[in-house]
Amino acid sequence: MRVLVTGIVGGLGQAVTEQLLLQGHQVMGIDRRGWPDAPDGVEVVEADIRKRPAEDVFRTFKPEGLIHLATVTHFSARPSERFRINLGGTRAIFDHCHKYKVKTAVFVGRHTVYGAAPDAPLYRTEQEPPLGAATFPELADLVAADLFAGAALWRWPKLNTSVLRIVYALGPSGRGTLGGYLAGQKVPTVAGFDPLFQFIHERDAAVAIRLALEKKLRGIYNVEGPPPVPLNQLCWGTNRQPIPIPQPLFRHVLGRFGFPKLPPGAIEHIKHPVVIDGQAFREATEFKYEYDEVAIMDGFRWVERK
């Protein structure tokens, strides 16, 4: 299958590319960054997914499958820029899929779109609405992109679209939201709270994404890995030190004293769990994770700390 991967240069994008090549697929990528040592046969076009060069890739490569990973997860970009990339970029990509008759599209989203709240159910199913923006305004653009991708299911019924809400990916690359939070030796926690954190190894996440493409899944699916782990245990398991901070002081220490810089809304996700039920995806794909929670944490212990 000819597969186009947007955001191919990221840690998860590279892992997905490896999986696709192992299964004999032809891969091409679009990313604003270059990949000088890309695997043989993989061409990466340096372009903004909203611009004409990206559409030219659809026109010339004629992909049969698309994996959309080109959404911004970091919060250093301005909100307006994040909306243009995450929502505007997602819209452009799906418009191209329709125009150039792509058969299968996989939108890779995040489980955090469900939102963290003290009264939320412990296990979220796909029937739960994505309410992340209510308590975490900085997630509004990712929630909007998730909903737009889901709307493709009825807007373009001939396009097999799957929206994957994947838990935090954690692995040797050290990239990603959770990897950034655990980047330093000291990890800020909110005093009195020890929420469950759910994560999956980068390679297992890549396998799940490949399966969604190959199985031509249609619909919204939660993708989980091993059982969730309390935050303090996650810190100690990755050789980090949790530092409990009283909530009134929490925002004032972020980005200082060796702590990571986090947006204000992130505090709810450090207080309350976001745990999903991935049964529907397992039944549809027979997916089984290879790395358990201990192996993932042990592997991340050796990622260089800042």
Structure confidence at residue 84 (pLDDT): 84
Q: Domains (ranges, CATH) in the chain?
A: 2-300 (3.40.50.720)
Structure confidence at residue 302 (pLDDT): 78
Alpha carbon distance 189, 271 (integer Å): 8
Name 61's Cβ contacts closer than 8 Å, sequence gap at least 6.
Answer: 2, 4, 28
Find out whether 223 and 165 touch, Cβ atoms under 8 Å: yes
Structure confidence at residue 135 (pLDDT): 85
Alpha carbon distance 19, 206 (integer Å): 7
Angle at CA of residue 20, ends 16 and 12, nearest 5°: 5
Structure confidence at residue 254 (pLDDT): 86
Structure confidence at residue 44 (pLDDT): 97
What averages of pLDDT result for each successive group of 10 residues across the chain (306 residues)? 96 96 98 94 95 96 97 67 86 97 97 94 94 88 94 95 97 87 93 97 97 98 97 96 95 87 89 97 97 95 70
Alpha carbon distance 233, 222 (integer Å): 24
Distance of CA 42 to the CA centre of its chain: 22
Find out whether 132 and 289 touch, Cβ atoms under 8 Å: no
Task: Give the pair of three-digit tokens for residue 212.
Answer: 């969604």
Structure confidence at residue 72 (pLDDT): 77
